[in-house]
Structure 1
Amino acid sequence: MKDQAAPGGGTEATSPRRLSTREAAERLGVKPETVYAYVSRGQLSSSRAPGGRGSTFDTAEIDALARRTGRRAPAPGDLVFRTGITLIEDDRYYFRGVDATELARQYAYEEVAEWLWTGELRPGIRFTAPAEALAAARRAVDALPAHSGSTDRLRVAVVAAATTDPLRFDLSREAVLAAARSLVPTLVGALPMAADAPSAAEGAPDASGAGLARQLWPKLTARPADEPSVAVLDTALALLIDHDLAASTLAARVAASAHAHPYAVVSAGLGVLEGPLHGAASGLAHRMLTEVLERGSAAPVVADHLRTGRRVPGLGHRLYTSEDPRARTLFALLAEMPQAAGALAAARDVVTTMARHAPLHANVDLALAVLSVSCGMPAEAGETVFAVSRTAGWIAHALEEYGERPLRMRPSGQYGGPRPPQPLPVPSGEPSQ
């Protein structure tokens, strides 16, 4: 049967075939219900299928959406990790099948970490830093130059703590869990107090037996800790524990695949986290919000970013089509803090201003920036919170990876250099023969 003419003078044979709902969902790596949600939000257009049964979708439009959101089905040859830790689906995310935002609202960071590691909820659990590890980490951190950043200090603290643990090469589940429960509070304890923060000798309350959020608070700000503010910090820590295979988590799993001990796994994660596109992104958002507050409006600040070719920080996320659920949770809590009103209004002004240019929603970096700006924290505070929190997630992934075939992540390079044989190189400055 011959092809019939298609609109525009072509033929059906030369026009791209339209996708069914099921095929569109598979191409995007989502459920069919999510495809219809994209249509309802105006992110996709659809046409009624012949006969009126179901809808069809333009292939190019589906592929463009997949590029924008980063959601697509794994292609043949893709490296896929089977994990039971975090699921991101339909603009929500789950820890072991439980809504992560609900967990973070109701339970402390340590309790959520235990849930992620073991699948068991242990109300009231507290992590304790061993005296020897904490002393070694503090000595190492204190020896760093004064201009060192928080991630520099955390990396050094991890190495110092590792040297005090002769059993760090024991990769049994219980040994790794014991190391994790001691390492996280050691990292927090090794950080210096915030500038102008009162020391214990000056009457500051002793936070050594408190939850991790209260221990971390005086390392981030000199302002006295109040319950609502510490609760928001605790929630932020719990929300950020894991987010599937982010770049730092992939690095941690590669280290675990080589059977690196848990301290080395965390070191691998910290090395990647420091990039401006990952853990350090909240610092950029902090500086932007500070400028918005100083200038009284987001419009000139956003305009400056766009004029100079810089992306506006704190907006958009490749895994979510609407507002990042972590940001939404933190914004709701920050709205209950009177001191956060100004920074929160500035953040909303940024989102509204950018909406005229691109339909981007707030992500967790913007929410962390509201917290840090409103509580008198430095720009790098969000990065510190991110690093401390994500340490538990890296350990969770290491526990999974230790049970897999070792060194399974060995991709092959596609060589693009000169084809051999090539002559031996001539040393610089010497004439060729």
Structure 2
Amino acid sequence: MRDQEPGPGHPERRLSTKEAAERLGVKPETVYAYVSRGQLSSRRAPGGRGSTFDAAEVETLARRNRRDGGAGPGGSGGPGGSAGSGGELAVRTRITLIDKDRYYFRGVDATELATRHSYEEVAEWLWTGRLRPGATFTAPETAVAVARRAVDALPEHTTPTDRLRVAAIAAAAADPLRFDLSEEAVLGTARVLIPTLVAALPPVRLTHRDEGPLAHRLWGRLSGRPADEASLRVLDTALGLLGDHDLAASTLAVRVAASARSHAYAAVSAGLGVIEGPLHGAASGLAHRLLLDVLDHGDAAPVIAEELRAGRRIPGLGHRLYPGEDPRARALFALLDDLPHAAPALAAARDIEATAARHHPLHANVDLALAVLTASSGMPATAGETIFAVARTAGWIAHALEEYGERPLRMRPSGQYVGPRPPQTMP
């Protein structure tokens, strides 16, 4: 039943939320997502219960959606996407599920997968849903040479993410077949791009060898200390745990690029451009510095107090997707417990968590666990960012592959214009 029938004082025909949803072929919550994005206007129903919508406006939107192939709010509808409750962009995916303080890669518990299999094997699972026991990634010498020359030309103060982004662009320029977006071609690109990114980073240990598992090759570019098997296992597991995490900001950027049919190198470059923010890939560096301050003071209390006094949030604590414990942190801390040289940093991390809990109870997240690994292994504060970027490249490729199978350019949100209404006087 309509909330309000047309009458002398109400010339337009009004539809209830249910009727508007049926006319648009969406869920009722999606109707409100259209409203939040300015694509529909609503009016409170008489008595203040529910909303009503102009039937003509709904019909116009329905016609436009049919013309655009079923695009929902933000252009993400149809077979692959829609708007979630509150107008947030939602994209249907088969890659990662986050649910009740656990997360899954293609239905398999991600922490178990990462602790039992190498990073390369986890990456193959993300890409294909099949395990390749003993999978290794090898970079062609020509791509590595081009990427290294480009990276070596950068200023000394360049960040790791800058180096990785330049390496990705250089590797793309060396690949004339980069525009082939078939699944096999993209998988081939992925298997050479990731080791190329690692090989392009300047080594810290001059005696390192560019062979063996990726974690072994990456270690020599992060730490000047020789690596024992237990430490390499922690690094390899960290890479697997960080392989994907649903639609994080960088992953959304990758899917937007893939939606526009950018090649895999460009899609990865889009992701690298996003993770430099302190709220994403660079967060572990802040936790690393906090951990070193606590180790210097021998007590977390004065360090936490200074952070709070400055109005800063405590890095390495809490995660909006995990009300309880971050499962990635839990898995890493369990492995770090077996490293004798990590004991001081582990104690400092637990001190940070316990001290901050007096102000606001938050669990340690994966950034703090990464900081324990990097700080206790003689790595720089930026090492966590490097680990994150290399690891997440696997997930980015998985999402790019998934997006290549969707309707092109569906990631096209509509702007909600709030500027001066035209016509305005010409300046």
Counterpart code for 2:269: S
Q: Distance in 2 between matches of 1:344 and 1:77?
A: 41
Instruction: Give 2:422's aligned residue.
Output: 420
Q: Distance in 2 between matches of 1:284 and 1:77?
A: 32
Does residue 135 of structure 1 match 2:145?
yes
Per-residue CA deviation, residues 152-185 of structure 1 (Å, 9 max, x unaligned), is 1001000000001111000000000000000000
Per-residue CA deviation, residues 103-159 of structure 1 (Å, 9 max, x unaligned), is 110100000000110111111110000111100000000000011110010010000
Contact 2:291 2:372 in 1 (8 A): yes
Q: Secondary structure of the equivalent of 2:103?
A: strand
Give 1:205 shift. 4.9
2:409 to 407, 410, 415: 407
**TM-score, normalised via structure 1 length:** 0.79
Q: Distance in 2 between matches of 1:335 and 1:348?
A: 12
1:165 to 141, 156, 175: 175
Instruction: Give 1:99's aligned residue.
Output: 109
Please list every run of 5 or more consecutive structure 1 residues that lacks an aligned counterpart in the other structure: 1-26, 28-72, 426-433
Instruction: Give 1:357's aligned residue.
Output: 359
Q: Distance in 2 between matches of 1:224 and 1:190?
A: 20
Q: Distance in 1 between matches of 2:219 and 2:106?
A: 28
Q: Distance in 2 between matches of 1:75 and 1:282?
A: 31
Give 1:424 shift. 2.1
Counterpart code for 1:113: A
Q: Distance in 1 between matches of 2:367 and 2:278?
A: 11
Counterpart code for 1:332: A
Instruction: Give 2:304's aligned residue.
Output: 302
Give 1:74 shift. 2.4
Q: Secondary structure of the equivalent of 2:85?
A: coil
Q: Distance in 2 between matches of 1:168 and 1:108?
A: 27
Give 1:300 shift. 0.4
Instruction: Give 1:57's aligned residue.
Output: none
2:368 to 359, 366, 369: 366
Q: Secondary structure of the equivalent of 1:93?
A: strand
Instruction: Give 2:133's aligned residue.
Output: 123
**1:384-403 alignment to 2 at 5 Å?**
384-403=386-405
Contact 2:95 2:398 in 1 (8 A): yes
Q: Distance in 1 between matches of 2:208 and 2:403?
A: 40
Instruction: Give 1:230's aligned residue.
Output: 232
Q: Distance in 2 between matches of 1:181 and 1:231?
A: 21
**TM-score, normalised via structure 2 length:** 0.80
Instruction: Give 1:152's aligned residue.
Output: 162
Counterpart code for 1:359: P
Instruction: Give 1:323's aligned residue.
Output: 325
Give 1:79 shift. 2.8
Per-residue CA deviation, residues 249-301 of structure 1 (Å, 9 max, x unaligned), is 00000000000000000000000011000000000000000000000100000
The percent identity for this pair of structures is 72
Contact 2:291 2:349 in 1 (8 A): yes
Q: Distance in 2 between matches of 1:289 and 1:238?
A: 24
Q: Distance in 2 between matches of 1:246 and 1:189?
A: 26
Per-residue CA deviation, residues 174-230 of structure 1 (Å, 9 max, x unaligned), is 000000000000000000012xx2x2xxxx252x22000000001001000111001
Instruction: State how many pairs are aligned.
Output: 347
Q: Distance in 1 between matches of 2:220 and 2:208?
A: 10
Q: Secondary structure of the equivalent of 2:221?
A: helix
Please list every run of 5 or more consecutive structure 2 residues that lacks an aligned counterpart in the other structure: 1-28, 30-82
Q: Distance in 1 between matches of 2:390 and 2:208?
A: 22
Contact 2:178 2:265 in 1 (8 A): yes
Q: Distance in 2 between matches of 1:239 and 1:79?
A: 25
Give 1:419 shift. 1.4
Q: Distance in 2 between matches of 1:78 and 1:239?
A: 26
Contact 2:208 2:220 in 1 (8 A): no
Give 1:90 shift. 1.0
2:378 to 376, 379, 402: 376
Q: Secondary structure of the equivalent of 2:132?
A: coil
Contact 2:208 2:217 in 1 (8 A): no
Contact 2:151 2:166 in 1 (8 A): yes
**1:239-254 alignment to 2 at 5 Å?**
239-254=241-256
Q: Distance in 2 between matches of 1:104 and 1:88?
A: 15
Instruction: Give 2:60's aligned residue.
Output: none
Give 1:420 shift. 1.4
Counterpart code for 1:152: D
**1:46-85 alignment to 2 at 5 Å?**
74-75=84-85, 78-85=88-95
Q: Distance in 2 between matches of 1:256 and 1:74?
A: 21
Q: Secondary structure of the equivalent of 1:80?
A: strand
Q: Secondary structure of the equivalent of 1:220?
A: coil
Instruction: Give 1:219's aligned residue.
Output: 221
Counterpart code for 2:278: P
